[in-house]
Structure 1
Amino acid sequence: MGRARVSTERPVAGRYRLVEIIHRETNRVRWYADDLRTGRPCLVTQVGLPQEAAGAAGRAPSRVLRAAEGVARLCPGRIAAVVDTVEESGFLWTVTAWIDGTPLDEVLAEEGTFAPVRAARVALELLDVLEAAHAGGVTHGELSPGQVFLREGGPAVVTGYGLAGTVLVPRLTAPSYASPEQARDGRTGPAADLWALGAILHTMLEGRPPFRDRGRPEATLKGVDRLPPRAPVRAGPLTQVVQGLLRKDPRERLTRQVVRGALTRVLREEPGAVPAAPAPRPRGGRAGAVRYAGRERGRRTTLLGITLAVVTVAVAVLAAARGLPGAGSGSAADAPPPSASAPAGPPDGPGAPSAPTPSNGAGGLPPGYRAHHAQEGFSVALPEGWERLDTSRGSDRGYRVTFGADGDPRTLAVTYSERVGADAVAVWRDDVEPRLERSGAGYERIGGIRATTYQGREAADLEWYAEDGGARVRTFGRGFLLGGGRGFSLRWTTPAAGWEEPASREALRTFLRTFRPAAD
């Protein structure tokens, strides 16, 4: 594994300043980062190199970059573009162009389960990518919710391609999504990717993967190999699809064609639903060359399964309730199963992890937003026209700054204190919530206080309803600890009836992505 400590003070390769960990798997860490050369944000993935790979490490970056470029051409715009790779400090660093989207595991952690129609649409988008890659002889081998980015303005983007077969690094970074043949002997192929698709579909519908994370990768893989998967109970019309993809014998798994037909049928039978576009096809001579290599490699590994009977999909009309943001950057595989009332929201739900604000203050922000640098010592992107509405200060150098705009009932409040405790959940439960209950404003908590991680720090989320001037409002609060008794909280308040409006959800997501204490 990696043999050196990673420092966020020293840029990787003298160019990429690490800002925040947004996803962590076995032997893989993904960071939001700033490209100091271009002033633009990017995604940097850190993979530990084993000791025995040290001699070949110098050749790994060029091999990874060539492989990733070839895969990206197989499905343009749907596979994340790798723009740079470097070996440094015992790690392989892969730099991916900025993706204007939210990792699927973040969305699941924030919103809970997906309705079958929404899950089918995401699964079809992933199937498009897998079909294009498999036709080019390329398998992913490590597909998981952390490798899938959902975008508001387009189909999902898949990351993580490029490492397979290019460098000797430990694989199976998400053991809960590994196929039985991978868990048993490391064997991979198109059937393993289809298993991962089934595991992701299971997680979207059930709120947890088919196999629980047992803490140690080897223990989790042993469970995948020897135990039956959790039976789906909320999958509705997609139950047989999930079960067909999660067959232990790779030869018995549903084929891509059968899965596509079943998923498309769910969309077609949902009132007002629009069927997904057909899968993109590989193009050019490069695709043909890779396809030939893939056929030869496939003969030496495993045969993709035998087509089963076409799945019969029942029609289900499900009401999509509103989503609860805020489980943070933890993997959906580690989250407890949501309650039966856990809502399913739109794919652009709030609560995504914080992303860096580029040095030029514009790149990477949604249209109509600008970077604001407060004199108190923090920065955040605000909608055009928003300004400071109120500032209050405490005796402990603490303060609260409230932002908004005339005629806009929504507000963002940023609070700083130097007297918070060492437990983020306890701060909400023991300090803040009692004051809210005594305020006489009709405080009503929504769900529980949820522990999370934000910008690599301990954090917790709380949501509640209250009355403000006779109007019912809803607030999402995220508090996080800086250490030494210091901490921030962000409170986003909107009229309760307008909580689900796309502009409001985008605003909260942008605030959480771009907020930065000046000391960072």
Structure 2
Amino acid sequence: MGRAHVSTHELVAGRYRLLEVVHRETNRVCWSGEDTGTGRPCLVTQVGLPEEQAGETARRAPGRVVRTCETMQSLCPGRVPAVVDAVVADGALWTVTEWVGGVPLAELLDRQGTFNYVRAARIGLELLDVLESAHDLGVTHGELSPGQVFVREEGSVVVTGFGLAGATLAPRLTAPSYASPEQARDERIGPAADLWTLGAILYTMVEGRPPFRDRGRPETTLKGVDRLPLRTPVRAGPLTQAVQGLLRKNSRERLTRPVVREALVRVLTEDPDAAVREVPRPRLRGACAAARHVSGEWSRRTMLAGTALAVVTVTVAVLAVTDGLPGTDGGNGTATGTGSGTGQSSSPSASPPASPPAGGTAPASPAPPPSATPAPTKPGDAVPAGFRRYDAPEGFSVALPEGWRRLDTSRVSDVAYRVVFGSSGDPRTLAVTYSERAGEDPVAVWRDDVEPGLERSGDYRRIGEIRATTYRGREAADMEWVARDDDTRVRTFGRGFLLGGGRSFSLRWTTPADDWDDSANEQALTAFLGTFREDAD
């Protein structure tokens, strides 16, 4: 999700400075902020009040929020942040909480698309713990959503938003897609409404979308929640029955907390290590905080050579990646044939993509690329004439055209690296990227992790659809796009494939767009795909 950096000359309640939008939902905006009185970071949440709400009801709202959160914070220390202030101003309820130091679950889902069911169960169990404490005290959250759940670097969960439900006299304005059917009908709610939302969050984590989509207008979305049938989850695995049981329209028929807890614990007990590869990392927020994780994607702009790596030291000691990786000396590999020429600081594949110039069009449905050519029976063994095998010290090898060499190496600790190959004077490049934090759906990695960054980087045009495929028996996906590198329009073919355990490789082949169909380029791409191999081969 994109972030808007917004400054305001006026302080909220005369004290709190807004720095950066952390998360935005219908009628609700959460900011990172600074308490100018103490200099401490904080979270500031703005919830719009209905125009008709005024007088005594509005004046009572801040006190209700503060009291509810104080109670919950005492019951769940570390899992519910303390509210330090609340005020009604300019037609909105503003609540100020201590700095959470985590990433909204909604943002993690935007980055990764889906979680495996073990990781979803782990987060769900933490949410259930907090809800159970609240329900035993007679408190219903009523506004739970992925935007109200923050995930810290070590995986613990912090829940915000207690006390908002009913404080604004508005039926579920902030996240209609996660409202329960009884909220959609504007009926009185209880703990069963929170259990519905827990089911909706579990559904979203494993499916990559809420059970009932946002239809643009809150009332239309709520009508869908109330009346439309549930789309059967297809990725929930052993969580399927629990998710479906929580999402029953009749609140009296929903699963009880003990049954849900048993189902979640069973998933964690049977496969306790399956979520290790998807550990979330905090992200830099304004002046306060913690660093953003290296996501498992084929070749996001964080893996673009020629840009800078920012390393931020924070209390959690996390390596932060801002807009890229540093180029380093890549001359430590060995090859049976190396060409002459000087190294390059950038290359077409390493530059931010852009779309074709005016008048330049991309075919809507391209012909099958050379990627469709079957690999040899023993992948990587046959080296075509005019190519020589390069054995990288990182543990992969590929046949390169004679005269090609390693031009650039970029890496983030031991979890990701990128190597760019080419030759002086040759505009074509091959980039090999490795990551240990890939998602489980290769199509989703391109679509949800890579493409948004390409679109934000400037002009960009994808060619055709992202195509699911297999590569030497592994799940894979192909994507093609056109871009501009200085004055040259270039075209890139990318194939990403999964190795298991969160590990992945991607190959990106970039040439001038006008030369894409040259037989030499087709031969090169076929050779790369046919000869690439990693340690597992």
- TM-score, normalising length: structure 1: 0.58
8 Å Cα contact 2:69-2:162 kept in structure 1: yes
8 Å Cα contact 2:21-2:31 kept in structure 1: yes
User: What is the SS of the residue equivalent to 2:86?
Assistant: strand
* 1:22 is aligned to 2:22: yes
8 Å Cα contact 1:48-1:92 kept in structure 2: yes
Q: Displacement, 1:264?
A: 0.6
Letter matched to residue 266 of structure 1: V
1:371 counterpart residue number: none
8 Å Cα contact 2:356-2:460 kept in structure 1: no
1:382 counterpart residue number: 312
8 Å Cα contact 2:309-2:326 kept in structure 1: no
Letter matched to residue 34 of structure 1: E
Seen in structure 2, the aligned counterparts of structure 1 residues 220 and 402 have a Cα distance that, compared at 3 Å, is: closer
Letter matched to residue 235 of structure 1: A
356, 362, 365: which is aligned to 2:286?
A: 356
8 Å Cα contact 2:143-2:165 kept in structure 1: no
Task: Please show how residues 309-348 of structure 1 align to structure 2 within 5 Å.
Answer: 345-348=277-280
1:443 counterpart residue number: 431
User: What is the SS of the residue equivalent to 1:87?
Assistant: strand
Seen in structure 2, the aligned counterparts of structure 1 residues 430 and 32 have a Cα distance that, compared at 3 Å, is: farther
Counting aligned pairs with the same residue, the percent is: 59
* 1:47 is aligned to 2:35: no
Q: Displacement, 1:428?
A: 4.0
8 Å Cα contact 2:104-2:151 kept in structure 1: yes
For 1:74 and 1:459, locate their aligned partners in 2 and report how far apart those are by CA, in whole Å.
48
For 2:43 and 2:19, locate their aligned partners in 1 and report how far apart those are by CA, in whole Å.
10
Q: Displacement, 1:121?
A: 0.7
For 2:69 and 2:222, locate their aligned partners in 1 and report how far apart those are by CA, in whole Å.
27
Cα RMSD of the aligned pairs, angstroms, is 4.1
Letter matched to residue 109 of structure 2: L
- TM-score, normalising length: structure 2: 0.56
For 2:182 and 2:247, locate their aligned partners in 1 and report how far apart those are by CA, in whole Å.
12
* 1:74 is aligned to 2:4: no
Task: Please show how residues 48-447 of structure 1 align to structure 2 within 5 Å.
Answer: 48-56=48-56, 57-153=58-154, 155-270=156-271, 272-273=272-273, 345-349=277-281, 354-358=284-288, 382-383=312-313, 428-430=354-356, 439-443=427-431, 447=446
Q: Displacement, 1:211?
A: 0.5
Q: Displacement, 1:44?
A: 0.5
Structure with the bigger RCO (C-alpha within 8 Å, sep 6+) is 1
1:509 counterpart residue number: none
1:33 counterpart residue number: 33
For 1:232 and 1:137, locate their aligned partners in 2 and report how far apart those are by CA, in whole Å.
31
Seen in structure 2, the aligned counterparts of structure 1 residues 268 and 500 have a Cα distance that, compared at 3 Å, is: closer
Letter matched to residue 443 of structure 1: A
Letter matched to residue 90 of structure 1: G
8 Å Cα contact 2:65-2:167 kept in structure 1: yes
Q: Displacement, 1:500?
A: 7.7
Seen in structure 2, the aligned counterparts of structure 1 residues 460 and 119 have a Cα distance that, compared at 3 Å, is: farther
For 1:117 and 1:441, locate their aligned partners in 2 and report how far apart those are by CA, in whole Å.
39
Seen in structure 2, the aligned counterparts of structure 1 residues 167 and 209 have a Cα distance that, compared at 3 Å, is: closer
User: What is the SS of the residue equivalent to 1:19?
Assistant: strand
For 1:401 and 1:130, locate their aligned partners in 2 and report how far apart those are by CA, in whole Å.
39
User: What is the SS of the residue equivalent to 2:71?
Assistant: helix
Structure 2: which 5+ residue stretches go unaligned? 1-5, 293-307, 318-322, 333-351, 363-419, 434-444, 462-497, 504-537
Q: Displacement, 1:187?
A: 2.7
Letter matched to residue 280 of structure 2: D
8 Å Cα contact 2:284-2:290 kept in structure 1: no
Q: Displacement, 1:77?
A: 1.5
